[in-house]
Structure 1
Amino acid sequence: MSAANNFLSELYRLAHSNGLDAQGLLRQAGLEPSVIDQKDIRVDTEKLAVIVQGIWDGLDDEAMGLSSSRIPRGSFHMMGAIAIGENTLRKALQMGIRFYGMVTEAFQITLREEGDLAFLEFRMASPEKDRDHLFSEINLMGWHRFASWLISENVVLHEVFFDYAPPSHISEYAYLFPGEHRFGSDLQGISFHRKFLDYEISRSKAALKRFIKRCPNDFFIQPRTDFSVSSELKRMLKKSLPDSFPIVGEAADKLHMTRRTLIRKLRDEGTSYQKIKDLVRRDHAIYLLTNRSTPLAEIAEAVGFSDPAVFTRAFKTWTGISPRDYRRETRLPASKT
């Protein structure tokens, strides 16, 4: 599995700015300094994990110096050891929240339930220290992947909230954070169907040790047990582009179920056919916008819009900004030395 090179470049600069042997960490990961800031290169997530672990160890801080409050090395492992002793995901998350409340002030975590949804929310103590959002991204990925791992089932994300603007590598978010994205929120967090909170914990201490040893490599990988109807529908609709999407009844036929069953299953997963269509179009549009030379009219057509103006309005609804503004705001910054 690979990730965008910006993660490596930001980690390298972070290690260097904190007085660590940044080039030594690259060597440990089997990487050459020449790969830094080469935006077209993707990096193996196992190599990224080596560097993150090196920073965690070197700073004795799982917040990597990106918060006004440290998270002592080993905190995630200790939290996991406490959480797997509970019988449901709800209780495991509640115990994890209590644990972090005792060991750090880096964030305040809240688990709340509203209607059919559960919300795991983070209010960061010092977001200004995490300018590149490294800590935020790893933290959100970590909690989602850990929750999914605990119950041996992908916790299907409904929405993901970010307290910052879309980053330059937003095209990665479609994979790292599958679900609807809300930028510019007053907090960070994820929402998902509350049914997952009642799922039983199915992991042992031995399995936890293996999971922790791989961290944060597995954070960059979607859980492998995503058999949700919404994910199957996304895969099917992606194959339809640039042609128009089938109506809901036709989509149901292709998934070998009735229209009513498809609508019900999507509702149970906290989504709808229209939301899935919008997500597929949005993610593909974002991917195409990263190619600066592709005209907006071509992108509009590629995601199913014959009129660029209609596409622009739709994109603004999905992301909060126009395609042109998105392309300008997410332009990669010049390399730092």
Structure 2
Amino acid sequence: MNDLAPHYRAQVSPLYARSLLDYLREHEFDPAKLFDARQLAAVEDTDARARMPLADWVRMFERAIAVTGDPDLALRVGAAIKPRHYGLLGYVAMSCATLSEAIDRLEHYEKIVGEVSETRLVLRGESAELHWRAPFDAHPPPVLAQSSLAGWVNYARWLLGREHLSCEVLFADPPPPNPQGHREILRCEPVFGAAFTGLRFPADWLQLPIVQADAELNALMDAQARALLSEIAHEPEPLPALRHVISRGLAAGRTTLRDNARPLGLSPRTLQRRLDELGIRYQSVLDDVRRRHAERYLTDPKKSLAEIAYLLGYSEQSAFTRAYRRWTGMAPSRAR
């Protein structure tokens, strides 16, 4: 496995990362038996603003590949991707008028799904190339390009209503020991050792109409995507990282500022000073993370209120009930 530490400060949206869990469940693999509770909690966060380390998702992929014995798992996950995994980006694309517009939105809004790739459309005469590049300098693990490109191909077929549409799929990586899986899943003859990783197709495809084009819906989705991207891009550090660290430590009872400063590489005094500079109270950040997790846990009928209180880092159910009343004005039992 690649040494992830030097370049994996990149983040990914849990909505996108959930494509792996959804595929496993659909094929009768229980994610709870493959991954620990911390990893599952991070991936199942429903907040569109949430982020998790891309390194964690890659490790989950590699664990799943080892357990399933399927070296082509990333391709299969990408080929099974749904609009919900792309979040707002998926709904913006599906309401565009043409493939050209959908690719334009991909270039503009791809950070909605995290720092998985940097996409660029290149026109070369009668051909168009969609270049995929990892957002860091080091060589990315193959699972990232495989899941992304298979997702692009599958989603384009669905958007255009052309199930048998076939284009060139290129990988800068050398060929795998057995490329048959690539051929079957992508339904083309993939090119390995290429000058770039991405797709190549006739330029006139850019004017193909999207089946579910809806100008009114597209305007609405586009406005929401712009607002979300602005919120993601301008949220100051250390807030995104702090939320993630808090989420990881809740069930272990790591809820204090002191508990969560060290994983950020900060002293408690420094973390407090940075929050003060932003005019943000640590308790407000903690409450926000707990509330989002509580709303998700309450939709699971298998989790008792006492178990939810424990998962949120409360020593007693009554403390959780009081906090939930303060957040929402109602008891968690009534919300459920």
Judge same fold: TM > 0.5, yes or no: no
Band of TM-score, shorter chain: 0.3 to 0.5
TM-score by length of 2: 0.39
TM-score (norm: length of structure 1):
0.39
Q: Which has the higher contact order (CA 8 A, sep 6+)?
A: 2
